[in-house]
Amino acid sequence: MTDRGSYQPLTYFQLMEVSLRELLVEKGVVTDAQVDETLEDMRRRGPERGARVVARAWTDPEFRKRLLADGTAACEELGLDVPALRLVVVESTPEVHNVIVCTLCSCYPRMLLGLPPDWYKSRNYRSRVVREPRIVLAELGLEVPGDVQIRVHDSTAEMRYMVLPLRPPGTGGWSEERLASIVTRDCMIGVAVPEVTR
């Protein structure tokens, strides 16, 4: 604390976080250890949950219907908690490719995909993917054929999107586990598509 050279004043939201956390600890609502544990849990979380949801939707047509109708409820069926959020799952088809963004900040289905990658939060991605999605996707390594329509979904604080990618050919008879293994984070954002590697 003596090194004033590295002193940085707290931003408004950092100050809010510290004040609220200290109050909650002081009032005995939560403990410091619980806060640390929850944070650690959030950092550790990867896209495995989302991949499980996709694999189930690929193998169970009734689940797929329920997932597209109400993402939050369908995830809860699998024991995945989607706290106080409306999860909207958008299905990519041979005609339509979906991609998600939060143009305002960095809203993201963290409960299913873990923490968002840095580029998702970048101003470059947020401002350009809505205007020139085909170009941005190509820059990220995904060439969407010209006859495939691209739909961009803008997330909000209350509503999160996740992409249900198209199940690739050559995966017939695969187990859910094996299917889940080819569903990457980027596939569920919509900047990549699942690929069958040998």
Catalytic residues: 102, 105-107
**Which range touches Fe ion (CB under 5 A), out of 13-21, 64-72, 102-110, 114-122?**
102-110
Q: Is 118 helix (H, G, I), strand (E, B) or coil?
A: helix
**Contacts with 87 (C-beta within 8 Å, 6 or more apart), sequence order:** 71, 72, 75, 109, 112, 159, 160, 161, 162
**Which range touches Fe ion (CB under 5 A), out of 24-32, 96-104, 122-130, 164-172?**
96-104
> What is the rounded CA–CA span in Å between residue 111 and residue 65?
21
- Residue number with the shortest CB distance to Fe ion? 107
**Contacts with 68 (C-beta within 8 Å, 6 or more apart), sequence order:** 89, 91, 164
The residue among 106 and 171 lying less far from Fe ion, judged by its C-beta, is 106
Among residues 105, 135, 148, 196, which is the contact residue for Fe ion, using CB under 5 A? 105
**Which range touches Fe ion (CB under 5 A), out of 99-107, 114-122, 127-135, 182-190?**
99-107
> What is the rounded CA–CA span in Å between residue 30 and residue 126?
35
> What is the rounded CA–CA span in Å between residue 196 and residue 193?
10
Residue with tokens 């840095």: 118
Among residues 57, 87, 101, 107, which is the contact residue for Fe ion, using CB under 5 A? 107
The residue among 102 and 111 lying less far from Fe ion, judged by its C-beta, is 102
CB atoms within 10 A of CB 55: 22
β-strands 149-154, 96-101 pairing: parallel
Site size with Fe ion, rule: CB under 5 A = 5
Kindly state whether residue 35 participates in binding Fe ion, applying the rule CB under 5 A: no
Six token digits for residue 164: 């249900």
The residue among 102 and 189 lying less far from Fe ion, judged by its C-beta, is 102
The residue among 152 and 182 lying less far from Fe ion, judged by its C-beta, is 152
Q: Give the residues lining the site for Fe ion (CB under 5 A).
A: 102, 104-107
